[in-house]
Amino acid sequence: MPDETAYAPTDRTIPTRSRERAAYDRALVHAILDEAYVCHLGFVRDGRPVVLPTLFARVGEHLYLHGSTGSRPLQMAGRADDGLPVCVTVTHVDGLVLARSAFHHSVNYRSVVVHGTAHQVTDRDEKRAALNALVDHVVPGRAADSRPGNAKELAATAVMRMNLVEVSAKLRTGGPNDDPDDLSLPCWAGVLPLRKGYEEPVGADDLHAAIAVPDYLTVL
């Protein structure tokens, strides 16, 4: 029976270095995934690696990725009986870490790496739920406030699913870790926190003037 609070480390999810930065806690992994707008999807084509940015959503212990039915990885996931081996990585850069020494410069980050196999979703209800999740992943509450996909749109969209099984997070927080001998150097040291969130919403050119910015956009 799987551990309810953490993913089991595997050979691929135990880093070769900075092991103290690795984490397997499910709640932490979910939070990192849910905060990201895009993931980086890796797959192998003709023996060589390909990495593409793409939208995704998490539903429980599944990740859903979508694209046009003509997109390369989705076609490959649909063709292969055994699914498409993929690696999905999500990274937040939270701050730039400036140390006194060039060597100890770093970034504060939170990342999740998911190894697995992607399969095309063929069940109509699961596909519809996944597409709603993709919209709600970008802005929670938005799916209910937009026109749902019709039959033609659903047919033009392919969705693939992978299970969260072989998963790890990696993170760095805090200030610079300078060598004791460097602490007396006269240069500034510290962290530049990156800005998060978004600016004021910009209405579409053809937006009717009577339509106000909805609450679910102003609370973020």
- Stretches 2-10, 24-32, 102-110, 119-127: which one binds a copy of itself (CB under 8 A)? 102-110
User: Which one among 147, 151, 209, 219 touches a copy of itself, defined by CB under 8 A?
Assistant: 147
User: Rule CB under 8 A: is residue 1 a binding residue for a copy of itself?
Assistant: no
Query: Among residues 80 and 139, whose Cβ is nearest to a copy of itself?
Result: 139
The number of angstroms, rounded, from the C-alpha of 207 to the middle of its chain's C-alpha atoms is: 30
Token pair belonging to 132: 């709603």
Query: Are 38 and 56 in contact, with CB atoms under 8 Å apart?
Result: yes
Query: Among residues 115 and 161, whose Cβ is nearest to a copy of itself?
Result: 115
User: Rule CB under 8 A: is residue 125 a binding residue for a copy of itself?
Assistant: no
Nearest to 56 by CA among 123, 125, 121, 122: 121
User: Rule CB under 8 A: is residue 72 a binding residue for a copy of itself?
Assistant: yes
Backbone angles phi, psi at 93, to 5 degrees: -95, 115
User: Rule CB under 8 A: is residue 9 a binding residue for a copy of itself?
Assistant: no
Q: How far is the CB of 125 from a copy of itself (least distance, A)?
A: 15
Q: How far is the CB of 216 from a copy of itself (least distance, A)?
A: 10
- List 39's β-bridge partners, or say none: 54
SS3 of residue 61 by DSSP: coil
- Stretches 22-30, 56-64, 119-127, 170-178: which one binds a copy of itself (CB under 8 A)? 170-178
The number of angstroms, rounded, from the C-alpha of 159 to the middle of its chain's C-alpha atoms is: 16
Nearest to 105 by CA among 115, 90, 113, 95: 95
Range 81-100, binding a copy of itself (CB under 8 A): 85-89, 91, 93, 95-96, 98-100
User: Rule CB under 8 A: is residue 140 a binding residue for a copy of itself?
Assistant: no
Q: How far is the CB of 47 from a copy of itself (least distance, A)?
A: 7
- Stretches 23-31, 57-65, 70-78, 119-127: which one binds a copy of itself (CB under 8 A)? 70-78
User: Residue-wise over 46-73: b if at least 16 C-beta within 10 A, else e?
Assistant: eeeeeeeebbbbbbeeebbbbbeeebeb
Give the separation between CA 8 and CA 10, rounded to whole angstroms. Answer: 6
- List 48's β-bridge partners, or say none: 45
User: Rule CB under 8 A: is residue 111 a binding residue for a copy of itself?
Assistant: yes
User: Which one among 70, 81, 82, 219 touches a copy of itself, defined by CB under 8 A?
Assistant: 70
User: Rule CB under 8 A: is residue 78 a binding residue for a copy of itself?
Assistant: no
User: Rule CB under 8 A: is residue 183 a binding residue for a copy of itself?
Assistant: yes
SS3 of residue 19 by DSSP: helix
